[in-house]
Structure 1
């Protein structure tokens, strides 16, 4: 999930799990605080919440992951959204609800795309996919006319904080697990790891078979001259005959006296009773 880079980027990626852990706890605090707000002040906190999301995306972009360009784009987009929310603190809830819904839909779509891309290397991709679908659905609801009130806005911001908290905490624990593994050890996908295990088991079974039951063409046992080659070929032939159930004494030609005489068809016809009894 992470690509190798320079030493500063490597240190940044190794410590990224700590920042994401802090971000997850901060999102939990935001969700709890928003749910405790009065309906009058909920439109004023929407801008700072979106700006905090832009900050998280910017730090992820600086870590140098494979999707850094997506994180950088989300950081710029969410920064503009948060600034618009701060500059337009109107009495209506239509603008904050629509912009928060925009944030949720874009972030949910990004989580769905990244989890699909990492489904072969990250075992938590299913959870991230579910979180992305939930965020996209919540954003779709927030962009509609049913969310243009104080109570739906409070629930939307609280749900936003809770979903981002779960996503960042899971990602932080996953990165902490990955950072504990040595970077010079090759990490295989589950399919390739199962193939390597099967190949190793097959090699062990092959090595455990008796030496007489397989061809002896090892590098150390190669014949040195023509005489050794003849002896080895003869021994292999005797072994094949023994396995087929054919003994050396039985492999001889049939004696000539055991061969039945050829039947003369004309003489047999003349001596037949039918021929003798027939009139001339």
Structure 2
């Protein structure tokens, strides 16, 4: 049994683009072959064509996508439709045309719904919606009274094969593109890989050192007040002065010796100004 995230399911998703590519080519071959048929043989091939569509839906359901239940339901519905066409192949063109039209309407509505759901993630959603509308319109025409003869039935099956071929080929190429990006997303260049290895080694060495020998980071100390920040800055300044061989007392005395006395009268201020001019 396959479930989301399992290894067989991953392999199935990776190879889904290949199956869809094969299905698109097969639909093209079906469309060309149907247009080359004689009118008397059209009703006999309608059943196998619908059964091939049921097979495609069944394989899509096994891929485990978000809409797997819709694909599984359509696979069962189209299987019953194909079997009815095989059993009733000897009747007139009314039954095959109506059942093929039913297939086209359901599949077209499905394409429109899924493309609308994926419009934010898939840039081909507009094309898939146009294909879905075309299939639904062709199925609406097939269910009417104008498609109950041989020639409209031939064109109906040819159009079915052509529309499904374009849809499957576009989906296959889109899945191939997404699969390539997903596989390469974790591959680093040699320079970046060496940088990551060096960073990991440094982190291991840092984590292996004792707690007392680690540099404390302010981000790990929680919120600090202005008073704490002033104390920390003052302590850092005292440490730098001590490492330079200057004590706090000597620095204070030097600062006091360099500062002239403050004049307390106008005459003293004038004398200090004149003395300053003479020194210059």
Displacement of 1:228 after TM fit?
Answer: 7.7
Secondary structure, in 3 states, of the residue corresponding to 1:182? Answer: helix
Displacement of 1:90 after TM fit?
Answer: 2.5
Equivalent residue, structure 1, for 2:31: 31
Equivalent residue, structure 1, for 2:168: 168
Secondary structure, in 3 states, of the residue corresponding to 1:37? Answer: coil
Equivalent residue, structure 1, for 2:138: 138
The structure-2 alpha-carbon separation of the partners of 1:125 and 1:228, relative to structure 1 and needing over 3 Å to count, comes to same
Displacement of 1:120 after TM fit?
Answer: 0.5
Equivalent residue, structure 2, for 1:236: none
Task: For 1:19-168, list aligned pairs within 5 A.
Answer: 19-168=19-168
Secondary structure, in 3 states, of the residue corresponding to 2:181? Answer: coil
Secondary structure, in 3 states, of the residue corresponding to 1:9? Answer: helix
The structure-2 alpha-carbon separation of the partners of 1:219 and 1:99, relative to structure 1 and needing over 3 Å to count, comes to same
Secondary structure, in 3 states, of the residue corresponding to 2:122? Answer: coil
1:149-196 superposed Cα distances (whole Å, 9 cap, x missing partner): 00000000000000000000000000001111236959xxxxxxxxxx
2:230 to 226, 231, 242: 226
Q: Structure 1, unaligned stretches of length 5 or more?
A: 187-217, 231-280
How many angstroms apart in 1 are the aligned matches of 2:229 and 2:159? 82
Report the TM-score when normalising by structure 1. 0.66
Equivalent residue, structure 2, for 1:252: none
How many angstroms apart in 2 are the aligned matches of 1:141 and 1:33? 22
Equivalent residue, structure 2, for 1:262: none
Equivalent residue, structure 2, for 1:177: 177
How many angstroms apart in 1 are the aligned matches of 2:155 and 2:124? 27
1:98-139 superposed Cα distances (whole Å, 9 cap, x missing partner): 000000000000000000010011000000000000000000
Secondary structure, in 3 states, of the residue corresponding to 1:89? Answer: coil
RMSD of aligned residue pairs (Cα, Å): 2.3
* Aligned residue-pair number: 196
The structure-2 alpha-carbon separation of the partners of 1:228 and 1:63, relative to structure 1 and needing over 3 Å to count, comes to closer
How many angstroms apart in 2 are the aligned matches of 1:66 and 1:17? 16
1:173-221 superposed Cα distances (whole Å, 9 cap, x missing partner): 00001111236959xxxxxxxxxxxxxxxxxxxxxxxxxxxxxxx969x
How many angstroms apart in 2 are the aligned matches of 1:95 and 1:219? 77
Structure with the higher helix share, 1 or 2? 2
